Amino acid sequence: MTKKPGDDQAPEEYALLLALDRLESLREDLDEAGFSTLQEVEAVLSLSGRGQNGETSDLAKRLSLLEEIRDEMQDLGLDTYQEINDQINLLHSQLDLADDEDS
């Protein structure tokens, strides 16, 4: 029987690790896109004229990234880069506490 990721960890700790990975990925996407708030992302998307004939491949990729960022931020209920960082720091603290309890 093969082991799955997280088999050696408590389910709560594994859930924290998954949430942390999701937030860190979102933060990297925001860095790449050059935005820091959901409002900025939504503004660019609303002004983009998505789907117009003049859309280049590079523009299409950037707009797709912005759509992914918007969807992820809305799903997580986060509006700013700072809120994402705060959640990441909180999860790191919770994981540190879980590690201390396991020791």
Q: For the residues of 46-80, what is the DSSP string, one character each?
A: HHS-TT-TT--HHHHHHHHHHHHHHHHHHHHT--B
- The pLDDT of residue 9: 64
In the predicted model, what is the mean pLDDT of the chain? Answer: 86
Assess contact for 76 and 25: CB atoms under 8 A.
no
**Would the pLDDT of 1 be above 50?**
no
Half-sphere exposure of 74 (CA within 13 A, CB side): 9
CA 5 to chain CA centroid, Å, is 20
Selected residue with higher pLDDT from 7 and 31: 31
Query: How do residues 40-58 score in pLDDT, each as one tens digit?
Result: 999 998 887 654 555 567 8
Tell me the domain boundaries of the chain: 11-102
Residue 6's region, left for phi above 0, alpha for psi from -120 to 50, else beta, is left
